[in-house]
Structure 1
Amino acid sequence: MAARRTVMLLVVVVLSLTGLAHCFQPVFSVDGTSITHRDITRRAVLRKTAEVCRDIAASEGRDFSLKIDDNLSVSKVQLACLSTPTSTDMFQTAINDIYYSNEKVDFTFAQTVKYHFDNEAFQEGRNMITAGVSSVKANVKLGNFVTGRQTLGLVCHTLQDFYSHSNWVELKKTTPYSTLIRPDQPLENLAGPDTPTCRSCTGNICADNILPEVLQQGLLTSGYFNSLSSAKPAGKCSHGGSSDKSSQKDPVGGINKDAVESSHGSLHNKAANLAVDATMELLEDIRGAVGDKNFLRLMGLSQSSVLCFVIDTTGSMSDDIVEVRRVSFDIIDRKKGTPQEPSAYILVPFNDPDFGPVIRTTDADTFKTSINRLTASGGGDLPEMCLSGLRLALTSAPPSSEIFVFTDAPAKDFYLKSTVTALIESTKSKVTFMLTDAFSRRRRRSDQQGFSSRALSQSDAQLYRDLAQASGGQAIEVTKSDLSLATTVIEDSSASAVVTVFQAVMNPGRPDNFTFTVDASVSNMKIYITGASSLTFSLTSSTGVSQSSSQSSGPLASFTTVGNLRRLSLNTDNQTGSWEISVNSNNPYSVKVTGQSSVNFVYNLVEAHEGAHAGFSLKNGRPTTGSNVTLLVTVTGSDTVTLAEVTLFDSSGPREINGSLQSFGSGNFLVTFSGVPAGEFVVHLRGEDSSSTSRSTPSSFQRQASTQIKTSSIVVTAQANNINIEPGSTVSIPFTVSSDATGTFTVQVNNDRSFSSTSPSTVNIAAGSGGKANGTVTLTAPASTASGTDVTLTIEAQNAGATDINYAVLRFSVAARVTDLAGPMCQVVSISGICPASSSLCASSQWEFIANLTDGINGTGIESITIRKGNGTRNTSTVAGAGGENITVVTYSASCCSQNVELAAVDRVGNVGTCVGQARALTTPAPMTSTPPVTPTVTTAAVNTTSTGGHTLSISHCLWISVVVSLL
């Protein structure tokens, strides 16, 4: 009954969206006909991503057959872009990041008018958009894609709200208001603060409440919104809806188009479609600034995961560094240029007292060079800064990455355990530790230099085991001489589309049987068992065939043992159904079953909101012990999957809590668990896939998340007013610690950039305080911080007994204020050459295009020039202009088979200018005789050039036309 009541509550929350929200519905449409912020963002992202892939394919001479419309899906776009079936987890996760940030605006900035273009706040709203876009471009330039998506979602929400909250649609506009993303263009024809804009609605009909003179004069206005008071300027339009009290004051009614039931709901679809077009225009501007490859990385479109190493570089680690070099070079050399090549390479060295810097690159040769530069030296005392290095990797790698840590020493910064755990849980990244000679008491050759033994105590090792268990990784303990046998797990994880079918951790250990289901989409299955040397096991297939641990090569698998790891590689094909593995050990152990499959899932903890902005937002930190837990689950890699069951699984219990499912279509499911007790759980999913035409019945499958979900009796909430920080400035972040218990709670605050910060060391929840205590954190970005840098802040609270902890994780972007608002300008100098009218003769003729591009005297300077359209060759040179400005002269030449060119020039702050040219063609066939050459003539023509930071220009230029003499 409790589960049913919870689901009903959530349904009520969703149903309340229409009457209460004052924006496009944020998450899912209640009536099935209204278009939500999620729909708008999804359509725009998928369409723009498909367009980028189409243009890349055209430039490379490849076919691209995907129809680009509003019916695209994540799996269809990724398959068309990458040409090979693979996991869509990264793509879906990136889109989800943008969704959640978009939706967050309604819960965090509900009453801030500039985020919604309410109250005629056009200048403020435009400033929000343009500053945010500049920040996104700076983030992408430095490879900080997660933070870039976070800002992009906020910007998209504000931009999309303009078309619902203003009278742009009522003014009969059919294209986006491009000025909103161009800060150097003036906002024109705005209704003045004292200009009446609306009259009261007649009854329940609000279709004609905007004053006729406002529409006739083309004045731009938006509705006023106030959920607390009916106050508004005289004669002004209201937003409308039951949560807008201003709409009850004359003139009553509203003009919003948030849903089909809204005040101007008849225009809802037009407003939503314009919002899609405007979002695509904004994405195109970002694409032009960052380039196609980085745009696709911002969207998370990748065939494979990153290769990420955190390496101890102290004196005894020379053998480990050699092995890291060997295994990484082997992966690079085998996969470079193939669909399985890692999407990025990340390296974080550490020792004592140093850690970092992070080396992050997409270039394999650059990564090889970085690995080759690693040397093992120093480390006179035992512990090293392992967790500091791991923290950098967790905040630098994409979510759901697999990170490999190599060390043979304790962690000196063990106090960061809770911080690292918080980052593991928030990023859902897996961490596997390679602990070499960790428990050996023999002295290393480095001891000859005076270093002491670096053997780990059991408590030291348990820290690494706890972190591995929390992430779904492993703590592998091997000798240095056997390390090369253990690093096969790195090669396994670097394969594409690796999924976890089943995983269990038994601590304390006990004999147990585990079952798991294998579906037809899974291949290359691996089973990893870690535990004491006395551990034994047996494996039984779905057909009843068994193999014991005494058989290193048997009918089901071949396996190797190295240190505490047993790695089984299954050699059976097409054995779908239920398998069983029995483990006999009284010591702690873990079992993990993986395979390769395009079918998987991603999930997020969410919480429901009621009131003026009802819906769901991301849950920051751990869920509350004994409360309801809500997940938003998205099935990836298949459009034909249905979920049958989602559970929270605690293998150490064992306990399994069933969730209540609610489908919202497109593979999205809301899952609610009632009264989740204290413990550590993982998400376990079962379902059916009907994609195979060879089966008469759907295939059953199961998947499991790697990262644990822990509950806590403490709640930490924190929210900054702005996620963008200027270099040299300080941001204040108020936070609240809540608990049913009274007393003193320890507060720990950390950031991954070592920025200066202040915070209280404790807070006290006193009796009668409502179970809450407040505090404030300040964070200062040094003036020297590069624009586009991101910083991750964790705020943790722990009870007096140190038995419970919770946290909030926030990301900020450091972005310098942009004063260069105009993009580079283009002046076409000449177009020469005449192309034959017959396409069959195009290869025998050439044409040439010459243009001058400049960012002006006060601009930041042109950083790059790329060919957006055309497959010719480009040469550039730089000359000084008459006013002292730098002019880049571009000479483009191409075959007459490619008769159009578009150049994109980007300045150092991301403003984009485009320059377009087209070859001249004969309008009539040439005569079949030789003709004498014609003296070149000078012609003047107008060519349109566009700057995304400036205006469309009509420039007179000289066309030097030379006639090509041909004998046909």
Structure 2
Amino acid sequence: MRKRVGRRMMGISKNGSRVLCFVIDTTGSMSDTIASVRETASFIIDSKRGTPDEPSVYILVPFNDPDFGPLMRTTDPNIFKAQINALNADGGGDYPEMSLSGLQLALTGAPPSSEIFLFTDAPAKDLNLMGTVIALIERTKSVVTFFLTGSLGLRRRRGSDQGQGQVQHSRMAVSDSQLYRELAQSSGGQAIEVTKTELPKATSIIVESSSSSLVTILQAVRSTGRADNFSFTVDETVRNLTAYVTGSSLSFTLTSPSGVSQSSGEVNGSLATIKTVGNFLTLGLDSQAGLWEIRVSSTVPYSLKVVGQSAIDFLFDFVEVSQGPHPAFAVLESRPQAGGNATLLVSVTGSESVSLTEVALVEDSGSGEVNGTLESVGSGDFLVTMDRIPAGEFVVRLRGENRATTRALPDSFQRQSSTRLRASTVMVMAEAEGDLEPGTPFSVLFTVTTNGTGGSFTIRATNDRGFSSSSPTDLTLVTGVSANGTVTLTAPANTASGTDVTLTIEAESPGATDTNYAILRLTVVSPVTDVSRPVCDVVSVTANCSDDCSLSVWELSANLTDGNGTGIEHVTLRQGNGTLNTTTVKGAGNWTVTLAAYSASCCSPEVELVVVDGAGNVGTCFRSIRVTVDTTVQPPVTNATTKNSITVTTPKVAAATAAAASSSHPLSLSSYLCSIMLVSVTLVLSL
């Protein structure tokens, strides 16, 4: 799947919208954890309210077993607090929970480049979603951090077959924690293993990550224990420089640009303040500009991440370039193809005083890197051509110079992507025509090709709404030859129009040595059967107006109906300074009738109601009681489609009606009520 975009990366701003997103296990053992989440959320909301760091969107996704969701999204921090306070830790039954289903909802519901925090003390039950979750992480470039309390503590479960409140002496297995570690490392997040009593100390990373303009300077993962040396460049714009180390049984030595060193044994040294909670170390560094080094020695796997706050950052995507008078870039919605060259579109954000000197694909294992050829295409955008892609997982690293500096020479800077990427010998393309209709099967055609070894490829199609779907479970591929398949997706008949659904189609090679995916975002749209506008039937008008209009009022009542259509959604005033009240009742034929009652000062002699039904059809209802000296007889209203029975109690109107009745002109009601010093009553219905 490819999406055409402009040079500014579809207007996406990595730090333009701060999102606070929690995915929370709500089983019986999680009450203490939920309490810690409440405290953390309240602290962030209260301390950052009215500041640039205040989240603009709050997202909450609960999960249990067998339930997960719904995703709750709000811009109101008080509503978010109430949603967390309403969570109940109960139930669960067996140990594994639907954690990946909850995470899938968060990844599809949160904006790109979000920071997502998942809390659980249980292994994942829905392991079939592992590939889907990784695909969504790669495409959204979101960072996921896991807080795991089950690997170091006991689980208290409730279940019909276990007895209420029984303590289970079982912990999250090492293999269970490993799954969460792999997902965290893929996204550039952390897998923090702490006890429940230690959790409040560990959640400080949420406060730090919710800061505006958070950038990644360095990130590295070592899957085997060994000694390694890392270097990273800090520029003058960086503040709140912080390093995170996740692992155990390790030691390290920091060296600053000025040559000063500090060992991991010095908790409060000259370069850093070190805090340790469980397997998670936080290093609050002196934000000294220049080249830093950190040497890590460990006998077990570990991860290292260095972040800070800066306006300078970058966006990127693998693209295909279409030639022509106005070149466009088609973003690859899947992994780039292995075995060939590649093109990246890179956009530098936050400053017009920077220039790029290097864009490289750095192998995650640290064994090598591929440098690209840069071509400026204007407005801070660059096309970067790579003659090859690393065979394993890699990250994108960017280096450049900032000319807006206090130094005599330009200030060097370094940025890195959080998300780990990889190429694939498998290509998956998917196309969808139109939108889903509730209750109607919808077909999505897809094509799978491989330039690697052929054979029987496993096919998996999943969606974040749990809609019923069918697809082939496998396709047989020959190298270089495409194979086609169809996913049939059905939204329930009661699905609300406008509901979004994300469909992920994965293809996995024999032996699970390679995978790729296509991601489609579809919308459920109910067919439009209501094309008629609402009808306005004026029941009565009472206008007891005196010479001093400020001392008198007039009133109107009307019945508003939509027949057997979608029903009236809302009624508003387009003209008039009076008071409008509406009530809903059942009328003839079991139709819903909206009763409108309007009253206003006689100084405000006109009113226009705007009536909108559920399909968006709009009708208007206009009425005027205006004194006039116009003696001209108005022509008939020829385009009115509704005749109204009107009771008028104004004496002047009654007299004028009798006088006008003798006229030979075929007058409409609004016409024959017009005469000298007459209160004229007019209805206009736009249909």
Measure the CA separation in 1 of the matches of 2:598 and 2:286: 58
Tell me how far 1:799 sits from its aligned partner.
Answer: 1.4
Shift in Å, 1:790: 0.8
Query: Aligned partners of 2:350 and 2:600: how far apart in 1?
Result: 42
Deviation at 1:387, TM superposition (A): 0.8
**2:280 is the counterpart of 1:569:** no
- Tell me, yes or no, if structure 1 residue 857 matches structure 2 residue 565: no
Contact kept? 2:112, 2:140, Cα under 8 Å:
yes
For the pair shown, which has the larger CA radius of gyration, 1 or 2? 2
The 1:419/1:302 distance shift into structure 2, 3 A limit, reads: closer
Aligned 1:899-910 pairs, distance under 5 A: 907-910=613-616
State the 1:341 CA deviation: 2.3
Partner of 1:705: 417
Q: Which amino acid aligns with 2:467?
A: F
Letter matched to residue 459 of structure 2: V
Task: Summarize deviations over 1:348-393 as a string: whole Å, max 9, x none.
Answer: 1112222112222222222222211212222332211111111111
Partner of 1:765: 477
Amino acid at match of 1:523: R
Q: Is the 8 A contact 1:794 1:808 kept in 2?
A: yes
Alignment partner of 1:372 is 2:99:
no
Write the mapping of 1:377-396 to structure 2, written as runs, cut at 5 A. 377-396=90-109
**Aligned 8 A contact 2:157 2:167 in 1:** no
Q: TM-score, structure 2 length as denominator?
A: 0.79
Question: Partner of 1:678: helix, strand, or coil?
Answer: coil
Q: CA deviation at 1:788?
A: 0.8
Letter in 2 for 1:373: A
Q: CA deviation at 1:453?
A: 3.5
Give 3-state SS (helix, strand or coil) of 1:502's partner: strand
Q: Deviations over 1:651-698 (max 9, x none)?
A: 313321111112111122111211213111111111223345x55544
Of 443, 458, 476, 1:746 maps to 458
Task: Return the alpha-carbon distance in structure 1 between the equivalents of residues 47 and 457 of structure 2.
Answer: 52
Q: Which residue of structure 1 lines up, in the alignment, with residue 496 of structure 2?
A: 786
Taking the aligned partners of 1:849 and 1:509, their CA distance within structure 2 comes to: 85
Report if aligned partners of 1:855, 1:861 keep a CA contact under 8 Å in 2.
Answer: no
Partner of 1:551: 266
Work out whether residues 247 and 279 of structure 2, in 8 Å CA contact, stay in contact via their aligned partners in 1. Answer: yes
8 Å contact 1:855–1:907 — kept in the other structure?
no
Q: Report 1:502-901 matches (<5 A).
A: 502-532=218-248, 534-572=249-287, 575-609=288-322, 615-691=328-404, 694=406, 697-722=409-434, 724-740=435-451, 741-766=453-478, 770-820=480-530, 857=562, 860=566, 863=569, 876-878=580-582, 886=594
Alpha carbons of structure 1 residues 453 and 624: separation in structure 2 relative to 1, 3 Å? farther
Counterpart of 1:203? none
Q: Give the % identical residues.
A: 54
AA partner of residue 279 (structure 2): N
Distance 2:609 2:289 in 1: 53
What is the match of residue 40 of structure 2?
327
- In the alignment, structure 1 segments of 5+ residues that lack a partner are 1-25, 28-37, 40-91, 97-299, 830-844, 894-900, 917-935, 941-954, 961-968
2:364 and 2:392 in contact (8 A); partners too: no
Q: Partners in 2 of 1:434 and 1:401 — Cα distance?
A: 17
Residues 262, 271 of structure 2: 8 Å contact kept = yes
Q: Partners of 2:416 and 2:63 in 1: how far apart?
A: 32
Contact 2:121–2:149 (Cα < 8 Å) also in 1: yes
The answer as to whether partners of 2:15 and 2:214 remain within 8 angstroms in 1 is no
Q: Secondary structure at the match of 1:380?
A: coil
Query: 1:603: Cα distance to partner?
Result: 1.4
The offset of 1:608, in angstroms, is 3.6
> SS of 1:412's equivalent?
coil
Distance 1:892 1:712, change over 3 A: farther
2:173 aligned residue: 457
**Counterpart AA for 2:486:** T
CA contact (8 A) 1:355 1:389 kept: yes
SS at match of 1:382: coil
Measure the CA separation in 2 of the matches of 1:585 and 1:873.
Answer: 75
Q: What is the aligned partner in structure 2 of residue 498 from structure 1? A: 214
> How much has 1:860 moved relative to structure 2?
4.6
Letter in 2 for 1:547: Q
Amino acid at match of 1:678: A
**What residue identity is the alignment partner of 2:93?**
G
Cα offset, 1:762, TM superposition: 0.8
CA distance in 2, matches of 1:875, 1:360: 34
1:249-268 alignment to 2 at 5 Å? none
Greater helix share, structure number? 1
Evaluate the alpha carbon distance shift between residue 625 and residue 852 of structure 1 in structure 2; reply closer, same or farther with a 3 A threshold. Answer: farther
CA contact (8 A) 1:607 1:618 kept: yes
Alignment match of 1:467 (pick from 173, 183, 191): 183
Q: Compared with structure 1, are the counterparts of its residues 744 and 707 closer, same or farther at alpha carbon in structure 2 (3 Å cutoff)?
A: same
In 2: Cα distance, 1:301 partner to 1:630 partner: 21
Q: Once the 2 structures are TM-superposed, how far is the Cα of residue 937 of structure 1 from its aligned partner?
A: 4.6
The offset of 1:301, in angstroms, is: 11
Could you report, residue by residue, the CA deviation over 1:733-770 in whole angstroms, capped at 9, with x for unpaired residues? 12122113221111111111111111111111247xx4
Normalised by the size of structure 1, how large is the TM-score?
Answer: 0.57
d(CA) in 2 for partners of 1:427 and 1:394? Answer: 7
After TM superposition, give the deviation of residue 891 of structure 1 in Å. 8.2
- Give the 5 Å matches for 1:925-940: 937-938=627-628
What is the Cα-based RMSD across aligned positions, in Å? 4.3
The match for 2:11 among 78, 82, 95 is: 95
- Kept after mapping to 2: 8 A contact 1:435/1:477: yes
Q: Structure 2: how far apart are the matches of 1:777 and 1:765?
A: 18
Any gaps of 5 or more consecutive residues in structure 2?
542-549, 602-606, 631-669, 680-687
Change (3 A) 1:771 1:864: same
**Aligned residue type for 2:359:** V
Q: 1:539, 1:375 → 2: CA distance?
A: 44
Count of matched residue positions in the alignment of Structure 1 and Structure 2: 618
Residue number in structure 2 paired with 1:225? none
SS of structure 2 residue aligned to 1:644: strand
Give the corresponding residue for 1:112.
none
Q: Distance in 2 between matches of 1:583 and 1:314?
A: 38
Structure 2: how far apart are the matches of 1:516 and 1:873? 65
**Given residue 221 of structure 2, which amino acid in structure 1 is its aligned partner?**
V
- Is the Cα–Cα contact under 8 Å of residues 152 and 195 in structure 2 kept in the other structure? no
Greater strand percent: which structure?
Answer: 2
Q: Tell me the secondary structure at the aligned position of residue 725 of structure 1.
A: coil
CA distance in 1, matches of 2:627, 2:21: 61
Query: 1:944-967 CA deviation, whole Å, 9 max, x = no partner?
Result: xxxxxxxxxxx999999xxxxxxx
Comparing 807-816 with 545-554, greater Cα deviation is found at 545-554
C-alpha separation in 1, matches of 2:230 and 2:171: 34
Name the structure, 1 or 2, with higher relative contact order (CA <8 Å, separation 6+). Answer: 1
Distance 1:559 1:891 in 2: 70
Would the alpha carbon gap of residues 320 and 904 (structure 1) be closer, same or farther in structure 2, given more than 3 Å must change? Answer: farther
Deviation at 1:904, TM superposition (A): 8.7
Post-superposition CA distance 1:789-809 (Å, at most 9, x none): 111111111111111111111
Distance 1:549 1:333 in 2: 34
Match runs of 1:223-242 below 5 Å: none
Local SS of the residue matching 1:709: coil
CA separation of 1:669 and 1:316: change in aligned 2, threshold 3 A: same
- Counterpart of 1:518, as a letter, is V
